[in-house]
Amino acid sequence: MLSPNKIPNLPIITPENSPFGVTVFVKRLDLVHPLVSGNKFFKLKYNLQHARKKGHDTLLTFGGAYSNHIYATSAATKSDNFKAIGIIRGEATTELNPTLSFAKKNGMLLSYMDRKQYRQKHTTEVINMLHKEFGDFYLIPEGGTNQLAIKGAMEILTEEDQEMDYICSSIGTGGTISGLIGSALSHQKVLGFSSLKGRFIIQEVEQLLRKYHIRPSCGWEIFTNYHFGGYAKHHPDLIDFIKNFNKKFQIPLDPIYTGKLFYGAMDLLKNNYFPEGSKVLLIHSGGLQGVEGFNLRHHENI
């Protein structure tokens, strides 16, 4: 069974070294587990338990070729002695990238699905087709977001976080921020920074909250203007920020999720979004495994 490391909050900005009178902490979930890192640890935890309880020995899930979810699921299933099937968006390639190579090394069976059919992966027709091909399995959706994932994400915030005024998180499928919104206290505000272009994610988070009967006691807000062109896009300003941030604080970030979150939060800080005396917590959700593949594709050195 997955077991987490205890991660204390790390202060990186204090009123003494900042002109804004704000204290900024980082919760480094990238260190919560050596392989199943970040928010994926929490999103997979109860899904693995439920699959075992229901008698399943095989998990099937979906993801892109550089997916953090595919990477983490392959490690988690190997650790908990499950078989795993990864349905990968797009065509097979002769040489596997670092993410898929790791998944295959962990015993995950990789199967490729064309993009048109992949967009229909949630339909009964496609799921029945997969059952015919692979037999019985426990299904985890793309990105891992379902009710059990949100239940796990609600455990990200701990007792030491109760003094925080703002909780900041990156957003992919919306599961992690939904859990944070569900567990944050009434005096707190959860801020989400979308990695995807467009404002649709706001409606999707609202739908998740309604679907799973989450009634927030906190305030929350989603920023959609720090996407840097959208998912997996390459932007020099973001790359420079990630490199400089790591040099200054010795905290690595990735260009898909955490880099955008930290850039956005620092921009809000510079623009006096946070009242003087505020305590701000940045959730480092992991995802660093994708940096190697990003560097290879874009000839970078993050």
pLDDT tens track, the chain, 302 positions: 677 888 889 999 999 888 889 999 999 999 999 899 999 999 999 999 999 999 999 999 999 999 999 999 999 999 999 999 999 999 998 899 999 999 999 999 999 999 999 999 999 999 999 999 999 999 999 999 999 999 999 999 999 999 999 999 999 999 999 999 999 999 999 999 999 999 999 999 999 999 999 999 999 999 999 999 988 788 999 999 999 999 999 999 999 999 999 999 999 999 999 999 999 999 999 999 999 999 988 889 99
For residue 18, what pLDDT is reported?
Answer: 83
**Angle (nearest 5°) at CA 22 between 20 and 28:** 130
For residue 204, what pLDDT is reported?
Answer: 96
CB 177 within 8 A of CB 214: no
Backbone angles phi, psi at 220, to 5 degrees: -155, 155
**Angle (nearest 5°) at CA 192 between 275 and 152:** 120
For residue 3, what pLDDT is reported?
Answer: 78
pTM of model > 0.75: yes
CB 120 within 8 A of CB 143: no
The residue among 19, 2, 43 whose CA lies nearest residue 179 is 43
On the 0-12 / 13-18 / 19+ scale of CB atoms within 10 A, 170 is buried
CATH code reported for the domain at 10-37+147-298: 3.40.50.1100
For residue 138, what pLDDT is reported?
Answer: 98
Task: Report the Cα 286 to chain-centroid distance in Å.
Answer: 7
The three-class DSSP label of residue 62 is strand
pLDDT tens per residue across span 104-143: 999 999 999 999 999 999 999 999 999 999 999 999 999 9
User: What residue ranges in 116-215 does DSSP mark as E strands?
Assistant: 138-140, 166-171, 189-194
Name the segment(s) of the chain with CATH classification 3.40.50.1100. Answer: 10-37+147-298, 39-144
CB 38 within 8 A of CB 3: no
What's the chain's average pLDDT? 95
CB 143 within 8 A of CB 69: yes
The three-class DSSP label of residue 79 is helix
Token pair for 161: 């976080």
Place of tokens 């003494």: 16
Classify domain 39-144 by CATH architecture: 3-Layer(aba) Sandwich (3.40)
